[in-house]
Amino acid sequence: MRATVQQLVQAALEALVAQGVLPAAAAGAAAIERARDPAHGDFATNAAMVLAKPAGLRPRELAERIVAALPATPLLAETAIAGPGFINFRLSAEAYRGVVAEALRLGPAFGRSDRGARRRVQVEFVSANPTGPLHVGHGRGAAYGAAVADLLAAIGYDVHREYYVNDAGRQMDILATSVWLRYLELCGESLRFPSNGYRGDYVWDIAATLHREHGDAYRQDAASLLRGVPEDGPTPDERDAGEGPAGDKEDHIDALIARAKHALGEPRYRYVFELGLNVILDDIRNDLEEFGVRYEEWYSERSLVESGAVNRAIDRLRHSGHAYEQDGALWFRSTAFGDEKDRVVVRDNGQSTYFASDIAYHMDKLERGFARVVDVWGADHHGYVPRVKAALAAMGDDPAKLDVLLVQFAVLYRGGEKVQMSTRSGDFVTLRQLRREVGRDAARFFYVTRSAEQHLDFDLDLAKSQSADNPVYYVQYAHARICSVLRQAAEKGLAVEPSPGTRNLERLTEDHETGLLRTLSRYPEVIESAALAHAPHQLTHYLRELANDFHTYYNAHPFLVADDALRDARVKLVLATREAIRNGLNLLGVSAPESM
């Protein structure tokens, strides 16, 4: 509907340009918004106020000229000028009836557009280190990133969904060492597991696989292995109790990694490393697939090193004059681009940093020809944004092509009590456990009911309830109710095959019908707005509003009436509503059941 009004105003501005009233550049200045007060109409534009100065006219005078130049159309019931020069538009009943016909004609394509003009966009999301199962925090990033990608595709962008696999670096070495130490325990060795190791049951499972398939082949004497290793720090429980060693846990785990590499040798250490990586990565892939999240590509961090991309990115920083050596390390002068301090890209031991890999990865994204790059990160990475953008600018790329969307934490509540979680200790709720408890649909919907920038309190009891207070149940129930109308018609032998076009829709005169028509008409606008703002919560709110309007209508009026024309009109309206609900749920990765 907004697009229709936009086209009408655009035609009026072009006519005024042709008359010499407006300069040529003014033709594209029509901004159309929903009227803030429905009493004033459906849409409004401030075009006259924006263009008054270049036209050399008072805003109200220009508004009158714009209104006079509007093409004649049955879609507008009223046009009025308000205040200093706002133009308000009230749509006709015929315009709203046209939405029903459009929804039924387009079906799954209803609400979609070509706004993106097939421009290539990469959306990278989740990208959790493959050091353990996905937990509920990752779940929010998965649901949000998938919805953002699908919404962008719905408005015509060519979307490439990508998972960045952090398969190199210190955290993966900590995982490999944790697996090997648990393996040694299964071999009968006695040792104090490092406070900074990965402690979840999944580490035991991987170690058990290593032991089952290779027996004692990877065994080493724990006492000699740990001799001379710096003392560990306390575990969180020991620290809370005022107990435990008083060493440095980081030095301790780094020493253990070095001992593991030396004791096992490169081939055997690499085997343990790859075993841990592949088992967990396969688990992550399966978890996301079961969650309804798919990717076009799983991109390996190690490939950046192997392809020479990291060295190439570092060379570009050197050649641009934004890299310098100090204390044996190579630094990127990111302060020149607004960062709070300069960043190391190559350590004094010659090893490149995580940041160097990230620079190379984003360089590679733009080299692959994406017009826009969208990263979905956890809120704890907010400080990383300016330095990545700074690196792109330093290499001569356009940092404006990168959008970083930050997702706040999700906190689970069960029985009104907060569910405590600790990732490193292994005491956390996995995404798989959440999905099994509340179901995929509820998880996907609940995760995007609030803006990503806001903390999310996830009420497990509410998500499982079958009540109007549960938003996903309420919306799905509306879809199921519409399907039940068709079943009831079949049982009664009533014909409900919709008539073509807008035939009989003039019979929709009840307040509940006009209200539902108005809400239904907003669906394409909501999709476009949610996509461009990266805000899938706009769609969840809309779907609940649409479902509420339908339920109210359902409870107030029978649909399968004896009057053939009225029955046809009402069935067409609810079938169009079903299309919007089904299409909207599909964009959120939620099913639309036909019975509940």
CATH number at 67 reads: 3.30.1360.70
- What's the chain's Rg over C-alpha atoms? 30
Residue 111 is predicted with a pLDDT of: 97
Domain assignment present for residue 77? The answer is yes
Shared domain for 242 and 281, answered yes or no, is yes
Shared domain for 479 and 540, answered yes or no, is yes
pLDDT tens string 231-242:
988 876 666 666
| The pair of three-digit structure tokens given for residue 533, joined into one six-digit string | 């703002």
Residue 495 is predicted with a pLDDT of: 84
Q: Which of 437, 444, 404, 409 is nearest to 423 (CA)?
A: 409
Q: Which residues of 508-544 are buried (b: 16+ CB within 10 A; e: fewer)?
A: beeebbeebbbbbbbbbbbbbbbbeebbbbbbbbbbb
Q: Using CA atoms, how far apart are residues 13 and 17, in angstroms rounded to an integer?
A: 6
Question: What residues contact residue 274 under an 8 Å CB cut-off, 6+ apart?
Answer: none
Residue 256 contacts residue 229 (beta carbons within 8 Å): yes
Provide the domain count of the chain. Answer: 4
Residue 361 contacts residue 377 (beta carbons within 8 Å): no
Q: Using CA atoms, how far apart are residues 478 and 577, in angstroms rounded to an integer?
A: 9
- What is the Cβ-side half-sphere exposure of residue 420, based on CA atoms within 13 angstroms? 2
| The pair of three-digit structure tokens given for residue 104, joined into one six-digit string | 């039924």
Shared domain for 45 and 144, answered yes or no, is no
Give Cα separations from 587 to 404, 437, 575 (angstroms): 21, 23, 18
Residue 238 is predicted with a pLDDT of: 64
Residue stretches of the chain with pLDDT short of 50: 424
Shared domain for 570 and 473, answered yes or no, is yes
Domain assignment present for residue 115? The answer is no
Residue 95 is predicted with a pLDDT of: 94
Residue 35 is predicted with a pLDDT of: 84
Please work out, in degrees rounded to the nearest 5, the angle formed at the alpha carbon of residue 378 by the alpha carbons of 376 and 383: 100
Q: Using CA atoms, how far apart are residues 540 and 110, in angstroms rounded to an integer?
A: 17
Asked which of 231, 261, 289 is the last residue of a domain, the reply is: 289
Q: Dmax over Cα atoms in the chain, in whole Å?
A: 92
Residue 291 contacts residue 207 (beta carbons within 8 Å): no
Reported as type and span, the H/E element at residue 411 is: strand 410-414
Residue 40 is predicted with a pLDDT of: 85
Domain assignment present for residue 333? The answer is yes
Strands of 402-407's sheet in order across = 297-300, 158-165, 120-124, 372-378, 402-407
Domain assignment present for residue 324? The answer is yes
Q: What are phi and psi of 159, to 5 degrees?
A: -100, 130
Task: Say what the alpha-carbon torsion angle 167, 172, 173, 177 is, to the nearest 10 degrees.
Answer: -130
Shared domain for 505 and 571, answered yes or no, is yes
Q: Using CA atoms, how far apart are residues 113 and 2, in angstroms rounded to an integer?
A: 13
Shared domain for 158 and 299, answered yes or no, is yes
Shared domain for 189 and 251, answered yes or no, is yes
Shared domain for 182 and 242, answered yes or no, is yes
Q: Which residues of 259-277 are buried (b: 16+ CB within 10 A; e: fewer)?
A: bbbebbeeebbeebbebbb
Asked which of 248, 268, 289 is the last residue of a domain, the reply is: 289
Q: Which residues pair with 325 in a beta bridge?
A: 330
Q: Residue 376 belongs to what domain range?
A: 120-165+294-407
Domain assignment present for residue 414? The answer is no
Domain assignment present for residue 176? The answer is yes
What is the CATH number for 522?
1.10.730.10
Q: Using CA atoms, how far apart are residues 26 and 500, in angstroms rounded to an integer?
A: 40
Shared domain for 283 and 298, answered yes or no, is no
Shared domain for 52 and 151, answered yes or no, is no
Shared domain for 262 and 370, answered yes or no, is no
Asked which of 386, 407, 428 is the last residue of a domain, the reply is: 407
Domain assignment present for residue 459? The answer is no
Shared domain for 475 and 582, answered yes or no, is yes
Domain assignment present for residue 450? The answer is no
For the residues of 142-179, what is the DSSP string, one character each?
Answer: HHHHHHHHHHHHHTT-EEEEEEEE--SSHHHHHHHHHH
